[in-house]
Protein backbone atom coordinates (compact mmCIF):
# COMPACT_ATOMS: atom_id res chain seq x y z
CA UNK A 1 0.00 0.00 0.00
CA UNK A 2 1.32 3.42 -0.84
CA UNK A 3 2.14 5.96 1.82
CA UNK A 4 -0.16 8.46 0.06
CA UNK A 5 -3.09 6.06 0.37
CA UNK A 6 -2.38 5.35 4.03
CA UNK A 7 -2.17 9.06 4.82
CA UNK A 8 -5.37 9.73 2.89
CA UNK A 9 -7.23 7.05 4.86
CA UNK A 10 -5.81 8.32 8.15
CA UNK A 11 -7.13 11.81 7.41
CA UNK A 12 -10.44 10.50 6.07
CA UNK A 13 -11.29 8.58 9.25
CA UNK A 14 -10.00 11.20 11.69
CA UNK A 15 -13.44 12.77 12.34
CA UNK A 16 -14.96 9.28 12.68
CA UNK A 17 -12.45 8.50 15.42
CA UNK A 18 -12.82 11.87 17.12
CA UNK A 19 -16.60 11.55 17.43
CA UNK A 20 -16.20 8.77 19.98
CA UNK A 21 -13.04 10.13 21.61
CA UNK A 22 -14.72 13.50 22.22
CA UNK A 23 -17.59 11.63 23.87
CA UNK A 24 -15.20 10.04 26.37
CA UNK A 25 -14.21 6.81 24.62
CA UNK A 26 -10.59 5.71 24.81
CA UNK A 27 -9.23 4.57 21.48
CA UNK A 28 -7.30 1.31 21.50
CA UNK A 29 -5.25 1.46 18.29
CA UNK A 30 -2.81 -1.43 18.79
CA UNK A 31 -3.25 -5.03 19.84
CA UNK A 32 -1.02 -4.31 22.84
CA UNK A 33 -3.42 -1.54 23.92
CA UNK A 34 -6.33 -3.99 23.79
CA UNK A 35 -4.46 -6.68 25.66
CA UNK A 36 -3.36 -4.28 28.40
CA UNK A 37 -6.88 -2.87 28.76
CA UNK A 38 -8.54 -6.29 28.88
CA UNK A 39 -6.01 -7.84 31.24
CA UNK A 40 -6.57 -5.00 33.73
CA UNK A 41 -10.31 -4.55 33.19
CA UNK A 42 -12.38 -4.28 36.34
CA UNK A 43 -16.06 -3.45 36.26
CA UNK A 44 -18.01 -2.90 33.08
CA UNK A 45 -16.93 -1.61 29.67
CA UNK A 46 -18.71 -0.58 26.51
CA UNK A 47 -16.63 -1.49 23.47
CA UNK A 48 -17.61 0.12 20.17
CA UNK A 49 -16.17 -1.52 17.07
CA UNK A 50 -16.11 1.57 14.87
CA UNK A 51 -16.36 1.55 11.09
CA UNK A 52 -16.42 3.89 8.09
CA UNK A 53 -19.82 2.67 6.88
CA UNK A 54 -22.96 4.78 6.87
CA UNK A 55 -24.66 2.79 9.62
CA UNK A 56 -21.72 3.56 11.92
CA UNK A 57 -21.91 7.26 11.12
CA UNK A 58 -25.66 7.71 11.19
CA UNK A 59 -26.64 5.10 13.78
CA UNK A 60 -23.98 3.34 15.85
CA UNK A 61 -21.77 6.24 16.95
CA UNK A 62 -24.69 8.60 17.71
CA UNK A 63 -26.56 5.86 19.59
CA UNK A 64 -23.51 4.98 21.68
CA UNK A 65 -22.65 8.57 22.55
CA UNK A 66 -26.24 9.54 23.35
CA UNK A 67 -26.85 6.42 25.45
CA UNK A 68 -23.80 7.23 27.55
CA UNK A 69 -24.89 10.86 27.92
CA UNK A 70 -28.47 10.04 28.85
CA UNK A 71 -28.03 7.08 31.14
CA UNK A 72 -27.73 7.35 34.89
CA UNK A 73 -26.22 3.86 34.93
CA UNK A 74 -23.12 3.85 32.76
CA UNK A 75 -20.30 1.45 32.04
CA UNK A 76 -17.15 2.06 34.06
CA UNK A 77 -15.06 2.21 30.89
CA UNK A 78 -15.71 3.35 27.31
CA UNK A 79 -13.34 2.08 24.62
CA UNK A 80 -13.27 1.76 20.86
CA UNK A 81 -11.36 -0.08 18.16
CA UNK A 82 -11.59 0.82 14.48
CA UNK A 83 -12.33 -2.07 12.11
CA UNK A 84 -10.55 -1.83 8.76
CA UNK A 85 -8.11 0.75 10.12
CA UNK A 86 -6.56 -0.68 13.28
CA UNK A 87 -6.78 -4.26 12.11
CA UNK A 88 -4.58 -5.89 14.76
CA UNK A 89 -6.34 -4.08 17.61
CA UNK A 90 -9.75 -5.04 16.23
CA UNK A 91 -8.72 -8.67 15.76
CA UNK A 92 -7.36 -8.79 19.32
CA UNK A 93 -10.56 -7.30 20.76
CA UNK A 94 -12.69 -9.76 18.81
CA UNK A 95 -10.79 -12.61 20.51
CA UNK A 96 -12.59 -11.57 23.71
CA UNK A 97 -16.01 -11.74 22.01
CA UNK A 98 -16.12 -15.53 22.21
CA UNK A 99 -19.15 -16.93 20.42
CA UNK A 100 -19.93 -13.72 18.51
CA UNK A 101 -19.28 -13.42 14.79
CA UNK A 102 -17.09 -10.47 13.73
CA UNK A 103 -19.32 -7.53 12.95
CA UNK A 104 -18.64 -3.89 12.22
CA UNK A 105 -19.94 -1.72 13.45
CA UNK A 106 -20.88 -3.49 16.64
CA UNK A 107 -20.98 -2.90 20.38
CA UNK A 108 -20.19 -5.17 23.29
CA UNK A 109 -20.98 -4.56 26.92
CA UNK A 110 -18.50 -6.42 29.08
CA UNK A 111 -18.46 -7.26 32.75
CA UNK A 112 -14.84 -8.11 33.28
CA UNK A 113 -13.89 -10.18 30.26
CA UNK A 114 -17.40 -11.59 29.83
CA UNK A 115 -19.67 -10.26 27.09
CA UNK A 116 -23.03 -9.62 28.77
CA UNK A 117 -24.70 -7.85 25.82
CA UNK A 118 -23.78 -7.65 22.14
CA UNK A 119 -25.18 -5.53 19.35
CA UNK A 120 -24.35 -6.84 15.87
CA UNK A 121 -24.39 -4.84 12.66
CA UNK A 122 -27.75 -6.44 11.83
CA UNK A 123 -29.07 -4.94 15.09
CA UNK A 124 -27.91 -1.53 13.83
CA UNK A 125 -28.75 -1.50 10.12
CA UNK A 126 -32.39 -0.75 9.38
CA UNK A 127 -33.04 0.26 13.00
CA UNK A 128 -33.55 3.79 14.24
CA UNK A 129 -30.91 5.54 16.30
CA UNK A 130 -33.48 5.72 19.10
CA UNK A 131 -34.04 1.95 18.99
CA UNK A 132 -30.31 1.24 19.16
CA UNK A 133 -29.93 3.75 21.98
CA UNK A 134 -32.84 2.06 23.80
CA UNK A 135 -31.11 -1.29 23.35
CA UNK A 136 -27.97 0.13 24.98
CA UNK A 137 -29.85 1.88 27.77
CA UNK A 138 -31.63 -1.36 28.68
CA UNK A 139 -28.27 -3.18 28.71
CA UNK A 140 -26.76 -0.48 30.94
CA UNK A 141 -29.73 -0.69 33.31
CA UNK A 142 -29.43 -4.45 33.58
CA UNK A 143 -25.66 -4.72 33.81
CA UNK A 144 -24.06 -1.52 35.13
Q: Does residue 53 carry a catalytic annotation?
A: yes
| Spatial CB neighbours of 125, under 8 Å, sequence gap ≥ 6 | 55, 59
Active site residue 144: no
- Which is the catalytic residue, given 53, 68, 83, 139? 53
Beta carbons of 73 and 138 less than 8 angstroms apart? no
Residues 6+ apart with CB under 8 A from 106: 48, 49, 60, 100, 118, 119, 120, 121, 124
Catalytic residue among 34, 48, 55, 139: 55
The residues that are catalytic are 53, 55
Amino acid sequence: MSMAYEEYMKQMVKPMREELVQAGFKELAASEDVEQFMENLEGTALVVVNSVCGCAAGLARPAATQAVLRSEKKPDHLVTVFAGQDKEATAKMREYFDGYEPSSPSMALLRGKEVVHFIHRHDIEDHSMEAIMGNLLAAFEANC
